[in-house]
Chain A
Amino acid sequence: MSQGPGGEAGFPALTGAAAAEPVTRRRRGSLGTRVFRALSPYLLLAPAALVIGAVLAYPVYFLIRLSLQRFGLAELVTKKGTWIGIDNFTRLFHDEQFWAVVLRTFVFTAVTVGLTMIFGTLIALLLARLGTFMRVLLSAGLILVWATPVVVAVNIFRWMVDFEFGVLNWTLTRLHLGDFLNKDWFADPTTGFAVITAVVVWGSIPFVAITIFAGLSQVPAELVEAAEIDGARRWQIFRDLTFPLLLPIFVILTSLSIIWDFQVFNQVWLMRDGEPEEDYWLMSVYSFVEAFRLGEYGFGAAIAVVMVSFMLLATFVYLRQMIRIGEAR
């Protein structure tokens, strides 16, 4: 990542790399042909590198630069920010609100990732034991949930928890779990976040469940049978056999979930009608409000920089696992 995208694309090294390419042993060809062959992978990569560079690499650099500038609406017009060093960060770290938001984001991520992984694993284990018909039915249901766009999902959940005519309040009251008639779930941020967590976890479970199920089906059946003959219990088989075998998948899924849930924005924003109260701010929301509502682009960028730094750890774990798998092949 530290390397620019296609950083070497402009300087195809004059090495034996291309000559090692098996096709060349067929015929050496003229000098022109050989140069073309050495260049061709870079030419093929160039468009992708260009797009990724323009839309990702440069903005990352620009984000860091912005975070060190005073860049407000006036600067947006004049197109030039004022360099102020780490003032944005100093202000941020002395901001009590910021630390509350950071804490809230960490708790939110831990809860959503934990619930997603637990329910995803349980459903995957369930899928593995179901009959064919139920397995196909449940997988189709999971895919249906997976495909539901976030904007749609949030609107459905808003409707289900509607304080007056929502199906949730009616059901909970009918189940004698208390008096939920006309209960406004968003009056209190704790119950409000319960709804937001529900919509995030609901949407994240299918990917986790289906991926773990796919992994489970690759575990050799003989191993499980042997363990059963030796009298191992189901829980022991999972803990001592299945889980260690699937550990790479669990590592990848957990780090992916952390990365996705740490930057949750849409669910909060849409659930609160584009005007989330301060009690509902997560880091992404805080950054967005500062930048696009208050016009403090520099300060918003500083928040985003801190957010990305927190996420680098999870990214690192994911990348290391993926590279390790790649090497094993």
Chain B
Amino acid sequence: MSRRRLNRIGINLLGLLVFAVMVFPVYWMVATAFKEGRNILADTPQFFPSPATLSNFEDAISRPYFWDVIKNSLLVVTAVVAFSLLVGFLAALALAKFRFHGRAAFIVLILGVQMLPLNALIIPLYIQLSRAGLTNQLSGVIITYLTFVLPFTVWTLRGFMLGIPRELEEAAMVDGSTRFGAFVRILLPLVAPGMVATSIFAFVVAWNEFLIAYVFLNDAEKQTAMVWLAGFTTTRGTEWGPLMASATLISLPVLAFFLLIHRKIAFGLTAGAVRG
């Protein structure tokens, strides 16, 4: 074999090793979830679950509040996605299709807001909400998450709209369409991929968030899936099987959606950086 070929095999083996190290924790979660209890608490770890069992999953879904928190999380996520699309779309339209005073300031604001340390704002947010009587209510959490995702939504949708040539809209208007008609028939379909991407992003952020929900929601039946999962450890010690099964179940929707949009996210945050 030539040296070049050897070199290439070496590189690909290194790639495989990096892959294995990075993915191992996720694999370990899923493998543990399928193991029998005595194989989880074994002096020599069992690297492949045999015999595989579903009992950990049965245990997980029959735990108190499991279905409540899943329902809450779905409710929060749906509201956040819907509102972020609506509000974000309008703002993006203004930024992409109009020239007006304060436009540049608003763009800087949108970028700056992304950088605000939300962990630092949890104290005033909590006091504001408790004054408004919105603690322990999903609506408080929804409004807060909406602000988390809006900057990304506006920024990404604006990018999509900037990519649409004005001639397309004008052509539609020449053909007798009103501005609104042109908007619905030309702009909307072209921005649709961006809306899919941003709504999945909103889904993932809202589904994964922990701290806000942890502070704002007190009652067990009001909490989100992440808070429930975090409480699993503190109250039940080390029942690793059911814990890993619950973690697997709760990660599934996110993993599925993330695979669909990862390109858009990397793109949205650093778009055009090389050319600069």
Contact = CB atoms under 8 A, between A and B. Distances in A.
B6 interface: no
B32 interface: yes
Given A160-B25, A248-B274, A252-B269, A322 B210 contact: no
A256 B269 contact: yes
A59 to B, nearest CB: 4
Contacts of B113: 52, 56
Contact of A147 (B22, B44, B254): B254
B55 interface: no
A6 B102 contact: yes
A142 B255 CA distance: 11
Contact of A1 (B8, B112, B274): B112
Contact of A18 (B23, B100, B128): B100
Contacts of B251: 147-149, 152
Nearest to A38: B100
A265 B212 CA distance: 12
A263 B117 contact: yes
A239 B17 CA distance: 26
Given A147-B254, A211-B269, A325-B273, A259 B100 contact: no
Contacts of A45: 90-91, 94-95, 106
B128 A62 contact: yes
Contacts of A101: none
B94 A44 contact: yes
B124 A301 contact: yes
Interface in B108-129: 108-109, 111-113, 115-128
Contact of A59 (B42, B88, B124, B233): B124
Interface residues of A, number: 125
A315 B112 contact: yes
Given A62-B124, A149-B226, A263-B120, A41 B259 contact: no
Interface majority SS (helix, strand, loop, mixed), chain A: helix
A288 to B, nearest CB: 7
Interface string A74-102: 00100100000000000000000000000
Contacts of B195: none
A245 B275 CA distance: 8
B218 to A, nearest CB: 12
B272 interface: yes
A219 B276 contact: no
Contacts of B273: 215, 246, 248-249, 252, 321, 325
A40 B127 contact: no
Contacts of B81: none
Chain B: interface residue count, which band? 35 or more
A202 B26 CA distance: 11
B105 A7 contact: yes
Interface string B215-259: 100000000001001101110001010011001001100110111
Interface majority SS (helix, strand, loop, mixed), chain B: helix
Contacts of A146: 258, 262
Interface stretch (B59-67, B141-149, B184-192): B141-149
Interface in A291-307: 291-292, 297, 300-301, 304-305, 307
Q: Considering the complex of A and B, which 5 residue pairs feature the smallest CB-CB distances, nearest first?
A: A147-B258, A325-B276, A48-B91, A44-B94, A41-B98
Interface of A: 1, 3, 5-9, 12-13, 15, 17-18, 20-23, 26, 38, 40-42, 44-45, 47-49, 51-52, 54-56, 58-60, 62-63, 66, 71, 76, 79, 123, 126-127, 129-131, 134-135, 137-138, 140-153, 155-160, 162, 164-165, 167, 170, 202, 205-207, 210-211, 214-215, 218-219, 245-246, 248-249, 252-253, 256, 259, 262-263, 265-266, 270, 273-274, 284, 287-288, 291-292, 297, 300-301, 304-305, 307-308, 311, 314-315, 318-319, 321-326, 328-329
Given A137-B19, A148-B26, 20 more contacts: A1-B108, A3-B109, A8-B105, A18-B100, A52-B113, A59-B121, A76-B130, A141-B23, A145-B25, A148-B25, A149-B226, A150-B210, A152-B250, A157-B25, A253-B270, A284-B117, A291-B123, A304-B123, A319-B111, A328-B272
Interface of B: 8, 11-12, 14-16, 18-19, 22-23, 25-26, 28-29, 32, 40-45, 86-88, 90-91, 93-95, 98-103, 105-109, 111-113, 115-128, 130-131, 143-144, 146-147, 150, 154, 166, 173, 179, 204, 207-208, 210-211, 215, 226, 229-230, 232-234, 238, 240, 243-244, 247, 250-251, 254-255, 257-259, 262, 265-267, 269-276
30 contacts: A22-B166, A26-B173, A41-B103, A42-B94, A44-B94, A45-B95, A47-B86, A51-B143, A55-B146, A56-B116, A59-B121, A60-B124, A62-B124, A63-B123, A79-B131, A130-B11, A138-B15, A141-B19, A141-B22, A144-B23, A147-B255, A149-B208, A151-B210, A202-B22, A266-B210, A291-B126, A314-B115, A319-B115, A325-B275, A325-B276
